[in-house]
Amino acid sequence: MSTDTVPAFVVTAARGHGPLAPGSFRVVVLEADRKLTISDFSNLERAQRYAEDAASESDGPGGTPYAYVFDDKLVFLSRGSHYAAR
């Protein structure tokens, strides 16, 4: 699991999107245009794969997107990384 820090506004967005079913995961993506998108997944593998894909989107004027994975208690687990960085 990652030791990265998560911006407070990302945590607030994750919590503000409502509760998660037990065993589910939430991915919050900070897009290059500074918009947030939030998606829920039934398993960690799918959530992590989505976070990796989102973080690997082409760079825009605002930079590369960031993707944060949370567990069903909305505890931060990991951050997606760009394919080129792995």
Number of structural domains in the chain = 1
SS (H, E, C) the chain: CCCCCCCHHHHHHHHHCCCCCCCCEEEEEECCCCCEEEEEECCHHHHHHHHHHHHCCCCECCECCEEEEECCCCCEEEECCCHHHC
Question: Is 3 part of a structural domain of the chain?
Answer: no
Question: Is 53 part of a structural domain of the chain?
Answer: yes
What range defines the domain where residue 30 resides?
A: 8-85
Question: Is 1 part of a structural domain of the chain?
Answer: no
Question: Is 81 part of a structural domain of the chain?
Answer: yes
Burial class of residue 57, CB neighbours in 10 A (0-12, 13-18, 19+): middle
Q: What is the pLDDT along the chain (86 residues), one digit of tens a residue?
A: 444 689 999 999 999 999 999 999 999 998 878 889 999 999 999 999 999 999 888 565 556 678 999 999 999 999 998 776 66
Specify the pTM. 0.86
Question: Is 2 part of a structural domain of the chain?
Answer: no
